[in-house]
Amino acid sequence: DTAVSQTPKYLVTQMGNDKSIKCEQNLGHDTMYWYKQDSKKFLKIMFSYNNKELIINETVPNRFSPKSPDKAHLNLHINSLELGDSAVYFCASSQAGQGAGRNEQYFGPGTRLTVT
Amino acid sequence: RKEVEQDPGPFNVPEGATVAFNCTYSNSASQSFFWYRQDCRKEPKLLMSVYSSGNEDGRFTAQLNRASQYISLLIRDSKLSDSATYLCVVMPNAGNNRKLIWGLGTSLAVNP
């Protein structure tokens, strides 16, 4: 009954490879996010989708491509991995709107990506 | 000025102590405010939303001061399990872009 789940939890790969991370939420939320947290612990928003529509697209290399097949899923595909991509990637979801509980983000456990 | 600023700490307090964190934000039109906690190697977890009138949840009290553009978190009777990084989070607008702005966090260590 996990609310926000991500797979895989750990990913070790070589430079130049392509990899995907998957995220699913069963909270019935309409908005999902990808964050990157690097070794300095700064949490940086990358992308956000609302009802399958991209609403946030921060300055991220175009090697990163999100895909939202439906509002419960948001995947992240990374092409040509580089050493600097090593970080923890968190998926999150929230329900938009006004009022109590709205816009509170709930996070998945994270995917620890190591590029060698 | 950073959009959301917090004292990184670390705050080292004994069990049972009361500790308070402040956080300032730059956008006066900000709409929503939150405190999250993050344990080492774990995901951020929502601690509490911060409401205009202030709110309390057990040992935790959050306050919002719109005039001075800061929010605070007070932890009473600290427990060892309160040791974590506390993240101040602000949502600048209520539009279609629901981007949250995250502080860098304040580290708390509660000692026996």
Burial class (CB in 10 A: 0-12, 13-18, 19+), B73: buried
User: Chain B, 82-101: which have a CB under 8 Å from a chain A CB?
Assistant: 85, 87, 91, 94, 96-100
A114 three-state secondary structure: strand
Residue A60's pLDDT band (cuts 50, 70, 90): confident
Percent of chain B with pLDDT over 90: 76
CA distance B67 to chain A (A): 22
With beta carbons under 8 A apart, name residues in chain A contacting B87.
43
B39 versus A100: the higher-pLDDT residue is B39
Q: How far is CA B66 from CA A21, B74, B75, B100, in A?
A: 39, 17, 21, 17
What was the pLDDT predicted at B95? 60
Tokens coding B96:
């279609």
With beta carbons under 8 A apart, name residues in chain B contacting A90.
43-44
What was the pLDDT predicted at B68? 93
Per the prediction, chain B carries an average pLDDT of: 92
Distance CA A2, CA B63 (A): 31
A99 versus B106: the higher-pLDDT residue is B106
Confirm or reject contact between B45 and chain A (CB < 8 A). yes
Residue A1's pLDDT band (cuts 50, 70, 90): low
What was the pLDDT predicted at B80? 98
The answer to whether residue A9 scores a pLDDT higher than 70 is yes
User: Chain A, 16-75: which have a CB under 8 Å from a chain B CB?
Assistant: 31, 41-43, 45, 48, 50, 55-56
- Tens of pLDDT, residues B49-97: 998 888 999 999 999 999 999 999 999 999 999 999 999 999 887 565 6
What was the pLDDT predicted at B97? 66
